[in-house]
Amino acid sequence: MDFINNIQNMTSTQWLFYVISVVTLFGALGTIASKNAIHSVIYLILTFFSLSAHYVLMNAQFIAVVNIIVYAGAIMVLFLFVVMFLNIKEENTPGLNNNKLMIAATIVAGTISLILISAIRMTDIPRTNPHTYQVKTGFIETLGTLLYSKYLLPFELVSILFLIAMTGAVMLGKREKGERHF
């Protein structure tokens, strides 16, 4: 009965969190369960976008935007390029019997569900008012202040490492006149 009362007393932010969590799980399961590699990449993009929505709910908008730009943008373009370049066909990939796969998936899902339900029932979740916490507005400002004060040395070392990597990439990619590349 206490579980039903908790569901009835949930705020809209909590409902949104659970909806986004279901979308995230759907995308993650679609990524690993899809037989088509391009569909797996699209499910992974859905997972990254829903994780960015979680970051927005946690008031970490900068991390959400970076996640979308870097992972859902650049890394996914790279994945799609590699998948299309390799031209993987379904008949070339080894597969399990669908019946065995469905039975195994049902057993695993049932076991995980039982563990989660028992963990939720045994856990006492304290009810606190989220408005009582002091939220540092301007997450980017806080991040910048920390990077240029407490973590200045590691930040500068990483920037030097990136500079060396870019210089090395340019030097390796530079062609001399008359030089042969295979």
Q: What is the pLDDT along the chain (182 residues), one digit of tens a residue?
A: 566 777 777 788 888 999 999 999 999 999 998 888 888 889 999 999 999 999 999 888 888 998 999 888 888 888 888 877 777 665 555 555 678 888 888 999 999 999 988 888 888 777 766 666 666 655 788 888 888 899 999 999 999 998 998 888 788 777 666 666 55
Residue 150 has phi, psi (to 5 degrees) of -75, -35
Plot region of 34 (φ>0 → left; ψ -120 to 50 → alpha; else → beta): beta
Dist CA 108 CA 129 (whole Å): 36
Rounded-to-integer distance, Cα 52 and Cα 20, Å: 10
Distance from C-alpha of 144 to C-alpha of 165, rounded to nearest angstrom: 24
Structure tokens that stand for 111 in this block:
């076991």
